[in-house]
Structure 1
Amino acid sequence: MGPVIDPVTPHEQLPDKVDVVVIGAGIIGTCTALFLAERGVSVALCEKGEVACEQSSRNWGWVRTTGRDSREMPLIQEAQRLWDEMNAKTGADTGLRRPGIAYLADSDAKAEGFERWLAMAKAHQVDSRLVTGAELEALMPGATRTYKAGLLTPSDGRAEPQKAAPAIASAAQRLGAKLFTRCAVRGLESEAGRVSAVITERGRIACSSVVLAGGAWSRLFCARHSLTLPQLTVRASVFRTTPVEGGPDSNLWTPKVALRKRLDGGYSIANGHANLAEIVPDHFAFFFQFLPALRAERGSLKLKLSSRFIEELRRPKRWALDAPSPFEANRCLDPDPVDSINQEAWDDLRQLFPVFQQAQIAQAWAGMIDVTPDAVPVISEVEQQPGFFVATGFSGHGFGIGPGAGKLMAELVTGAPPCVDPTPFRFNRYSDGSKPRLEIY
């Protein structure tokens, strides 16, 4: 079972018509709804399960510029600015703190990768820098080993995933957005070649635009409408500890363990270098598009053939809009954590920081990360279906960039000048002859 999420009271009565329907109430969907509502746009936010019940409440909680792809840099900088406003916008504590984030290098090759990233990031005037010696040791009080170098961004921070999206959803409601949970959107209706409505399990909502922020479910929803979205999923395991006194305040990443201090005094912990990729039919459908990523991540991805292959093979790709859809059959992706991956991180953490020897694992969980071939999200209108917009494929980077992505999507939907150039995030980059580019540092 996933973490306990702050509750949000949904609306009951489905509207006959709104300007925009947003599908998915994770961090991207709630931010999109908020920024649309701020513009006076009428919004229905529909979620098949509960607010933030999937990866948006299960991620590390990092709000980072460090290590971003160059194509994401303008958008994360906008997101960082918006995070600073989010407590005021929501009237709640989203948990935002800025103690910095440091990636630690245990080899010369890794340190050289940090230097290459810094050379790229310099053009964006970030406060990132390489740290060594006493400055690095100060970030790691009580550590039993040293590292070659650290890539530190002092302005980076953290927030609480179980609090942020619910607070943002509530703020959108106060501005007039209507929130419906346990209300799966089964599909789209079109008129004169443009989106005209969605059909939900509770009924029809007429609209002029639809935003799909469906995370790991986006590929399936698009396929229902003959739209090819190359997207796969990765299972990421996390656990949290009981409160710990004297541990690091900065977020830290090492090749074996990553950690973030929580508001409750404990820590969220993950393996810094291991996730599970369960082989499913889409791995074969998108094999060549994902091959560069698979090669680049071969040391960190654990491939496994499991029952999911048969489950997804049997899952309907098409369904009638007046009958239950696959989204109603599975309200919330709640995979089991991979114990061996978590245990490796737990063992290394206690060796690295003896202060954790007295701590206990309070809870463990896993979530499904939606990934694209180039590890860059899609934030775009779909040219083949006017009025249909997609925001997905954040590849494990979505929580921190969420406010920026939501603002950009609201601008695209309303035709306002975009806060950043949306070209790198276009839906059709996988089909227009562009060669996918994967940045590795």
Structure 2
Amino acid sequence: MTLHKADVVIVGGGLMGSAAAFFLRQRGQSVILLERDQIGQYASGVNFGNVRRQGRFLGQLELANRSWALWKRLPELIDDDLEFIASGHMRVCYREDEIPELEAYAAAPEAAQLDLKIYRGAELHQRFPFLGPDVKGGSYAPHDGHANPRLAAPAFARAARRLGARIEEQTEVAEVQKIAGEFTVTTTDGRQFGAERLLITAGAWGQKLSAQFGEPVPLDTNGPQMAVTEPVPYALPTVIGVYTKIPEEVIYFRQIPRGNIIIGGGYRSKPDMLNRRAYVEPRSILNQMDQMRRLLPGVGNLNIIRVWSGIEGYLPDSLPVMGPSGNVDGLYYAFGFCGHGFQLGPGVGDVMAELISTGSTSTSIEPFSIRRFTPSAEQRTTEQRSRAS
């Protein structure tokens, strides 16, 4: 049997894997990327398309800023247009006591590059007159924006292929082993691929592979709920989302230059992981309509022309798994981005390529280590004693 070899094998062809393949080739590494279905088919291609930094975990902003610098260089970077627009991003709230929370975030040193401005009261409604009367305040990020998620992963994969990466779609992994310092990936059709370094970017399926290497994580899967309206005159360039602790109030929207308004938020569905199917939740779409009327009263009579979902991986602390394995040399992870990985995609690819190529990275990713889910030796001893008693 022929063993197809490269410096790095990547399992998973979403935005993270495709971007990593591109940046690894830029660094001179030979790459084979294996995707079970089609590039960008699941979370990467069906998300809302937010290219936002504000509202993230403060420890993630260094990574988000690195990614934002790459977004600004598109399409020069990959010779493709992802319809990125730095339109501004507005995070609004319905309660006066939530405004100080937005102010505290804006004042954090980590958020300095975002140039956030807090609006409230009359100033808010003068600046954004289309917002409903329930909106009490908001945080405006002038540099954030949105892009077309359906274009992103395929564009990075094409760019990686032009640089010499081998991209294999419709290629399902059956088994992964590490023998004598080399990973061997066997596919369901009997082919084998080998490399000294392996990167797992398998999204909602990432934990299945990490568990094979003794690093299980408590990953949950959810289906985001999206809808798009008929086209209307382009008048809402700013992306707007609601900051709230009440799940049914979560709503966000963006209008694209063609005039359609894309809507996300609300209740998520449970995908069928065996058949790899995601479902639209009717109550979520109905709730989106109610919440949109509250946030943006002028949309009340628009027609919804399409609804969809996807398959995303979520972790309990809402942070991804990203970085080297805690158990196996040469093994790396980037998965579980908890529904907010789209903006990070180029930065994740760049950071992982730097880490795999050089052994370190200039961007802090320690909070995302898979080791946070591995019990320490002291914890394991305590658990063993508890079981023994």
* AA aligned opposite 2:280: P
Q: 2:86 aligns with which of 79, 95, 98?
A: 98
Match of 1:399, SS state, is: coil
Partner Cα separation in structure 1 for residue 113 and residue 82 of structure 2: 26
Deviations 1:113-149 (A, max 9, x none): 2122223255643211211245533553433425221
Aligned-pair distance for 1:404? 0.9
Q: 1:387 aligns with which of 330, 341, 355?
A: 330
Q: Is the 8 Å Cα contact of residues 245 and 355 (structure 1) preserved in structure 2? A: no
Match of 2:108, SS state, is: helix
Partner Cα separation in structure 2 for residue 138 and residue 244 of structure 1: 22
User: Which sections of structure 2, spanning at least 5 residues, go unmatched?
Assistant: 243-248, 378-389
What aligned pairs does 1:343-362 form with structure 2 within 5 A after superposition?
Answer: 343-350=286-293, 352-362=295-305
1:365 aligns with 2:308: yes
Match of 2:156, SS state, is: helix
Partner Cα separation in structure 2 for residue 398 and residue 423 of structure 1: 17
Residues 149, 121 of structure 1: CA spacing in aligned structure 2 closer, same or farther, 3 A cutoff?
Answer: farther
Partner Cα separation in structure 2 for residue 253 and residue 136 of structure 1: 14
Deviations 1:273-296 (A, max 9, x none): 4334x5xxxxxxxxxxxxxxxxxx
Q: 2:268 aligns with which of 263, 266, 275?
A: 275
What aligned pairs does 1:321-340 form with structure 2 within 5 A after superposition?
Answer: 330=275, 333-340=276-283
Match of 1:400, SS state, is: coil
Task: After superposing the two structures, state which structure 1 stretch, 344-353 or 356-365, moved more.
Answer: 344-353
Q: 2:184 aligns with which of 192, 197, 200?
A: 197
Partner Cα separation in structure 2 for residue 58 and residue 234 of structure 1: 13
* Corresponding residue of 2:385: none
* AA aligned opposite 1:136: L
Partner Cα separation in structure 2 for residue 257 and residue 390 of structure 1: 30
User: Which sections of structure 1, spanning at least 5 residues, go unmatched?
Assistant: 1-13, 279-307, 313-328, 435-441
Deviations 1:333-363 (A, max 9, x none): 3311111111111233245435434432121
* AA aligned opposite 1:275: R
Partner Cα separation in structure 1 for residue 355 and residue 207 of structure 2: 21
Partner Cα separation in structure 2 for residue 81 and residue 348 of structure 1: 33
Q: Quick one: percent identity of the two aligned structures?
A: 28
* Corresponding residue of 1:37: 25
Deviations 1:28-51 (A, max 9, x none): 111111110111111111110101
Partner Cα separation in structure 1 for residue 200 and residue 335 of structure 2: 8
Match of 1:367, SS state, is: coil
* Corresponding residue of 1:71: 59
Q: Is the 8 Å Cα contact of residues 244 and 355 (structure 1) preserved in structure 2? A: no
* Corresponding residue of 2:231: 243
Residues 78, 413 of structure 1: CA spacing in aligned structure 2 closer, same or farther, 3 A cutoff?
Answer: same
Partner Cα separation in structure 2 for residue 249 and residue 429 of structure 1: 39
Task: After superposing the two structures, state which structure 1 stretch, 359-368 or 112-121, moved more.
Answer: 112-121
Aligned-pair distance for 1:415? 1.9
* AA aligned opposite 2:342: F
What aligned pairs does 1:40-55 form with structure 2 within 5 A after superposition?
Answer: 40-55=28-43
Aligned-pair distance for 1:15? 7.2
Aligned-pair distance for 1:162? 0.5
* AA aligned opposite 1:429: R
Residues 90, 263 of structure 1: CA spacing in aligned structure 2 closer, same or farther, 3 A cutoff?
Answer: farther
* AA aligned opposite 2:196: S
Q: Is the 8 Å Cα contact of residues 95 and 136 (structure 2) preserved in structure 1? A: yes
Deviations 1:156-178 (A, max 9, x none): 01010011111111111111111
* Corresponding residue of 1:181: 169
Deviations 1:290-342 (A, max 9, x none): xxxxxxxxxxxxxxxxxx7xx87xxxxxxxxxxxxxxxx64xx3311111111
Partner Cα separation in structure 1 for residue 183 and residue 267 of structure 2: 43
Residues 135, 187 of structure 1: CA spacing in aligned structure 2 closer, same or farther, 3 A cutoff?
Answer: farther
Deviations 1:84-105 (A, max 9, x none): 1131122121010011111111
Give the structure-2-normalised TM-score: 0.88
Task: After superposing the two structures, state which structure 1 stretch, 93-102 or 127-136, moved more.
Answer: 127-136
1:259 aligns with 2:263: no
Q: Is the 8 Å Cα contact of residues 54 and 334 (structure 1) preserved in structure 2? A: no
Task: After superposing the two structures, state which structure 1 stretch, 130-139 or 174-183, moved more.
Answer: 130-139
Aligned-pair distance for 1:383? 2.8
Q: Is the 8 Å Cα contact of residues 124 and 137 (structure 2) preserved in structure 1? A: yes
What aligned pairs does 1:30-179 form with structure 2 within 5 A after superposition?
Answer: 30-121=18-109, 124-133=112-121, 135-137=123-125, 140-179=128-167
Q: Is the 8 Å Cα contact of residues 54 and 114 (structure 2) preserved in structure 1? A: no
* Corresponding residue of 1:209: 197
Partner Cα separation in structure 2 for residue 139 and residue 57 of structure 1: 33
Deviations 1:390-422 (A, max 9, x none): 101111111011111111111111125413023
Give the structure-1-normalised TM-score: 0.78
Partner Cα separation in structure 2 for residue 113 and residue 195 of structure 1: 49
